[in-house]
Amino acid sequence: MPEWASCIARPPRINKIYGLEAHLCNVADNASMQDRGLLRDWMYLAGLLHDLGKARASWQRYIRGHGAGVNHAFLGSVLFFFLIQASRPPREYRRYLLLLCRDIADHHGALGDLEEQPPWIGGWQPQTLTEIDWIGVKAFLQRYAPAYAKFFPENYQTLQDELARMPRLWRKWVVTLPVVEDVNKAAYDALRIPTSRLIAADRFDAASIERDEGISMRDILPAQKRLSDYVSGRHDVTLQVGGTVMANYRDYAQREVLAQLQQSHSVVTTLQMPTGSGKTVVAMQYSLELMKTYGLKRIIYAAPYLSIVSQVAQSIREATPFEVLEQHHLALPDIDSASAYISADIGEGPLLTLESWQAPVVVTTFNQLFRALFPYSAQQSLRLVALEQAILIIDEPQIINPTTWNAFLLMLETACQSLNARSLLMSATVPPHHYAMLSEPITQVAAPLLSAEASRYRLRVEELPLDSVAVLESVQHRLRQQQSVAVIVNTIGDVARLYQVWKDMKQDFLVLTLHGAMHALHKRYQIQRITQALEKHEPLVVIATQTLEAGIDLSFDHILRARPVFPSVVQAAGRANRHGQGSQAEVVVFDYLRPDGRDSRAMVYRDVVARDETDRILTPGRSLLEHEVDAALRAYYHNVFERNNYTVALEKITQAASGRWSALAGLEPFGSSHVRESVFVPVSGSQECPDAWVDDETQQLLTHFDVTVGSLYQKFLDPRTYAGSFTERKRFLNLFGRFVTGVPFHALQTLTDADPNRRVQLLVNPSDYSTDLGFAAWFLNEKLEEMVLL
């Protein structure tokens, strides 16, 4: 067996040995640094033991390239439980200690429940105890955890006998745990902060990830000055396009809400402002003030759609001097450290560098934020520590499914309270929070309403359903009166159907599409083309999914919206005449019928109550001006939450706190959705202009890494790519992710080789990716019910 001192934690490199003892001590120090007293002692011990199974002779042979991989996490789990129970901890801490023991066993996989069977049983191998230098282990514990080393047996046989008793004692602890009934205490117990600290400490040390110090106090005043200049520039632009009324309203509204926000002392605050009135700017101004007041250090901005993430990230880069990390992998999946999808030499996997949220400003998606609060795997929990002393800006929260809304709010409040963080939820349509069982009141801030004279649009409901031909005929008619029309439908397949009908009709007006089955550079290019056409006042039609509804700063003369639920209608209307220049826009809601006679609405909006209350408001022929929409929206939310207050998810929190984490694990912001798989698309333009989508920044990155779009995937697979610094890894993965999008599993079998050893597949035939539609055409030939790929 290997001597303890010679054991390594990961493969050696030139002139560098990664000793196991050093790794365990680093993890113990970093995982426990935020705790005090007994909690610190226990977390420190967990860090010392979490990878102790790597001292096995078989694992040491494996890491040196001389054998197959073996399980190692189970041993640290049983040793932790053995030493902890021997110390006779206070009974009220048993649940915490059982979960920490469970975390050690699960730190390379899914987070499990507290069951009567101990977590180490599944990985236990009889020969394990004979493979380890126990004299060295005991000496190690005597150096770093003497209070627990005294319980360690003097000989191997006694240790074997003691560990054999542990399953019975584990069952006794589990079955005598009291049920957690108070939902606020349950939220605190269910928040996986200890898990996150342990996993982050392990992954950061293994992958040499540097902890970002965030935004310092000396950076705030220059940032405020730059932000102020940015706001002034935007005001001037609005005046230039004839939006004097809206420019004046924005200035007034922003002053009013900032004054109210500065009076808020709640950990969670809501901000309701009309679309196009500058919520993002207000959020950044408020965040900088919070940093001055509370010493907060990081801004985390979460939005529902990737298209919003990219646009917001760019706006923050222009408005502030801060480094901005876009963390969404652009549809790249989470990678467990157990996955050797590239090479064991890279240890934790390169995508870890994007998951850690180590940047002054992080712009991410709701999916990623939910994975922090409701992690399914240990890997997903690690970013929770980045919320420490952070400001969370939640943009367009009304898009979160009502069934998960209350659970999200409660866990968000608990995270803010536990991690000295603050949160701002902002939208034109903030849902109610009265059923979330929050422990303290939320401060609600609302901008002054627009006057009737300043209403930018009229909302009208069509009398009869429309099929694809009728929609395009209506568009053609509108183009004679207005220069830009947006058609927003509910699924990607509907985008493709309408686009195909337009081609069949051989109309000469420009049609552009936008949806979630396009990779990031393609979306960005489409948005640029849309923006240019709008600025030049050219006739334009955009056919899009909900990705056009929220956050994207585009303004149309006319909008056709396939019937969704009412908050989505309000968000879509926010793209109509945003600057209030010219004549009043019209937003038309219609029932869209596919060729087979079905309406795809229920495929996306599955809440029957929400659909029913929408239909009570949006009756055929009804018409509302913008200033009347706010009252209708309040009525909608009141009725929806009166009929179903969505407290079932709160019961999942109490179940998770009582030990059944699986009840809460993997909670999704948009409800259940179809599994999507990641595909690298080596396409960056049309055949006539193959690099049209490659912007200057992307070209600089391609040049920096000496790759072409065609060779980028092979470089992604090459372990040598990840030998550089943390910053270089982030830059490369940011580049790679610009060419990745998500597709349903069925499509993966058709479009790629579906190599099970690769978590990001390569598109085999680039011609399968349309420069007009991305992967949307695939849906035309499938009967799979569709969800928006966010």
Question: Going by C-beta distance under 8 Å and a sequence separation of 6 or more, which residues neighbour residue 415?
Answer: 191, 373, 384, 387, 421
pTM here?
0.84
- What integer pLDDT is reported at residue 675 of this predicted model? 61
Q: Which residues pair with 763 in a beta bridge?
A: 752
Q: Which residues pair with 493 in a beta bridge?
A: none
- What integer pLDDT is reported at residue 353 of this predicted model? 61
Rounded Cα–Cα distance for residues 661 and 47 (Å): 22
- Residues 201-238: pLDDT tens digits? 999 998 777 788 899 999 999 999 999 998 888 777 77
CATH topology of domain 457-643: Rossmann fold (3.40.50)
State the virtual CA torsion across 188, 191, 197, 200 in degrees, nearest 10.
-170
Residue 66 dihedral angles phi and psi, to the nearest 5°: -120, 20
Weakly modelled stretches of the chain, pLDDT under 50: 329-349, 788-790
Structure token pair of residue 290? 């919070």
Rounded Cα–Cα distance for residues 273 and 426 (Å): 7
Number of Cβ within a 10 Å radius of residue 648: 12
**DSSP β-ladder status, 484-488 and 740-744:** unpaired
Q: Where in the chain is the domain with CATH 3.40.50.300?
A: 217-448, 457-643
With both helix axes pointing from N to C terminus, report the angle between 193-207 and 37-49 in degrees, rounded to the nearest 10.
40
Q: Where in the chain is the domain with CATH 1.10.3210?
A: 4-178
Structure token pair of residue 248? 């004046």
- What integer pLDDT is reported at residue 347 of this predicted model? 36
Domain 217-448 has CATH 3.40.50.300: yes
Which residue do the tokens 């006042």 mark? 537
Question: Going by C-beta distance under 8 Å and a sequence separation of 6 or more, which residues neighbour residue 25?
Answer: 47, 48, 144
Residue type, 201: A
CATH class, domain 4-178, is mainly alpha
- Strand ranges in 591-730 using DSSP code E only, listed in sequence order: 623-625, 676-680
- What integer pLDDT is reported at residue 434 of this predicted model? 87
SS3 54: helix
Element (H, E) at 607: none
For every residue of 55-74, DSSP letters joined together read: GSHHHHHHHTTSS-----HH
- What integer pLDDT is reported at residue 314 of this predicted model? 84
How far, in Å, are 10, 141, 548, 580 from residue 254 at the CA level?
53, 58, 24, 17
Rounded Cα–Cα distance for residues 451 and 152 (Å): 75
